[in-house]
Amino acid sequence: MTSVLVVNSGSSSFKYQLIDADDERRLASGLVERIGEPTGHATHDVPDGHWERSLEIPDHTAGFGVMLDAFREHGPSLETHPPIAVGHRVVHGGARFFEPTLVTPLVLINIEDLSDLAPLHNPANVEGIKAAKKAFPELPHVAVFDTAFHQTMAPDAYTYAIDAELASRLRIRRYGFHGTSHKYVSGAAARFLQRPLGELKQFVLHLGNGASMTAVDGGRSVDTSMGLTPLEGLVMGTRSGDVDPAVLIYLQRKTRIGPDDLDDLLNQRSGLLGLSGRKDMRDVIRAADDGDESARLALEVYLHRIRHYIGAYTFELGRVDDIVFTAGVGENSAEIRARSLAGLEHHGIEVDPDRNDSRVGGVRVISTDASRVTVLVVPTDEELEIARQTLSVVG
């Protein structure tokens, strides 16, 4: 009855899941948040119960104490389901980490060193790892990187055409993100289709609050829409995705905006929010249906960008066997799926309206039987993928 503990740390919170190492059942999940604020908050969920607590949680180490209390009081017992390893989500692995990696002091230094590339995420991930190591000093800790899956991209796909010396010195290149999700859903699609992953050409649309698209050839990422940071590519809830880089230079010259404000503008105040004043796709769709012009345009820009990448990746792959939709919007919005692929019948892509509208859960096909390209919805499960990759390291 062994298990794996999966941890995803932010700067003032962390999420956890305890996953059975044999049958991959979710034994418990929880969220410890508002760490460092006067009143922190913790939730703990097991299949037949939900608990909440409000108390001061000064730091991540105290947060893991709160988590351990929850396991002791509400189960499952960590004695009867002992974790054999802790798997940590780490956002940026740079070009150094291309697979899940056992955390050693040197690995931790390397993750810290990559903080320049992910200043909001890597320091928080490191803090979570350090606190988790204090809570579970005997266990192996494994770092699973969001960027690792994309390390198979070839130089022509990951290189930006800027001064080569500067780019090399500052490690500027495309890294790509959401890799754990893209790997999980592309593998799950192959298993569902009962086809060897190695012979499939597919693309994955991870459409959540953050959104990215990846071309996957034989189980390897060959191109992805996010870049040096998770800002490039598709239009997202609050992120702009692609813009002409000269827009930023123009803005700096015209408004004297500084780097922090520019970062905030493009990451927090753009995308669907910047265009329509709403960042939640459900609100945008509702407003567009009610005739709101800005919401209608936001939707059209969002879809235009998706179709732009569908075209690009179709040509890069040369042939497409299947297209996979995942994450909040991809799994739940029949309208976005249908409009993303509308009018592509002569490219062999034909969505079946009834299958697309069906609310059945789990992996499902939404294309017609006649469609040459199979279109699927695959619910993503990053925690399970992290647990699997963690086990692959510790054996």
Residues numbered 207 to 226 that lie near ligand AMP (CB under 6 A) are 208-209
Q: How far is the CB of 284 from ligand AMP (least distance, A)?
A: 8
Alpha-carbon torsion 54, 62, 387, 175, what sign?
Answer: positive
Sheet holding 211-217, edge to edge: 220-224, 211-217, 201-207, 322-326, 374-377, 364-365
Q: Segment contacting ligand AMP (CB under 6 A): 100-108, 118-126, 327-335, 385-393?
A: 327-335
Give me the residues paired with residue 52 across strands.
Answer: 43
Q: Is 25 in the site for ligand AMP (CB under 6 A)?
A: no
Give me the residues paired with residue 42 across strands.
Answer: 32, 53
Q: Is 328 in the site for ligand AMP (CB under 6 A)?
A: yes
Sheet holding 141-145, edge to edge: 49-55, 40-46, 26-33, 13-20, 3-9, 83-90, 141-145, 101-102
Looking at the Cβ atoms of 53 and 339, the one nearer to ligand AMP is 339
Q: What single string gives the DSSP state of each residue in 137-156?
A: TTS-EEEEESSGGGGG--HH
Q: Is 146 part of the annotated catalytic residue set?
A: yes
Looking at the Cβ atoms of 86 and 341, the one nearer to ligand AMP is 341
Quick note: the x/- pattern for ligand AMP over 330-359, rule CB under 6 A, is --xx--------------------------
Q: Which residues contact 299 (CB under 8 A, 6 or more apart)?
A: 284, 285, 288, 339
Residue 61, both tokens: 């180490």
Integer Cα distance of 357 and 379 in angstroms: 15
CB 31 within 8 A of CB 42: yes
Q: Segment contacting ligand AMP (CB under 6 A): 84-92, 113-121, 325-333, 358-366?
A: 325-333
Among 132, 273, 329, 344, binds ligand AMP (CB under 6 A): 329
Looking at the Cβ atoms of 348 and 379, the one nearer to ligand AMP is 379
Quick note: the x/- pattern for ligand AMP over 171-210, rule CB under 6 A, is -------------------------------------xx-
Integer Cα distance of 25 and 27 in angstroms: 6
**Distance from the Cα of residue 254 to its chain's centroid:** 35
Integer Cα distance of 45 and 109 in angstroms: 33
Integer Cα distance of 129 and 134 in angstroms: 9
Rg (CA), the chain: 21
CB 367 within 8 A of CB 384: no
Residues numbered 227 to 256 that lie near ligand AMP (CB under 6 A) are 237
Please name the helix (run of DSSP H) or strand (run of DSSP E) that holds residue 9, with its range, or none. strand 3-9
Q: Is 268 in the site for ligand AMP (CB under 6 A)?
A: no
Looking at the Cβ atoms of 114 and 327, the one nearer to ligand AMP is 327
Q: Segment contacting ligand AMP (CB under 6 A): 80-88, 305-313, 321-329, 356-364?
A: 321-329
Q: Is 277 in the site for ligand AMP (CB under 6 A)?
A: no
Integer Cα distance of 332 and 282 in angstroms: 10
Q: How far is the CB of 270 from ligand AMP (least distance, A)?
A: 14
Q: How far is the CB of 155 from ligand AMP (least distance, A)?
A: 31
Q: Is 11 in the site for ligand AMP (CB under 6 A)?
A: no
Q: Total number of residues binding ligand AMP (CB under 6 A)?
A: 12
Q: How far is the CB of 17 from ligand AMP (least distance, A)?
A: 15
Name the active-site residue from 146, 217, 223, 322: 146
Looking at the Cβ atoms of 8 and 151, the one nearer to ligand AMP is 8
Looking at the Cβ atoms of 232 and 381, the one nearer to ligand AMP is 381
Q: Is 281 in the site for ligand AMP (CB under 6 A)?
A: yes
- Contact residues for ligand AMP (CB under 6 A)? 208-209, 237, 280-282, 285, 327-329, 332-333
**So which residues are the catalytic ones?**
146
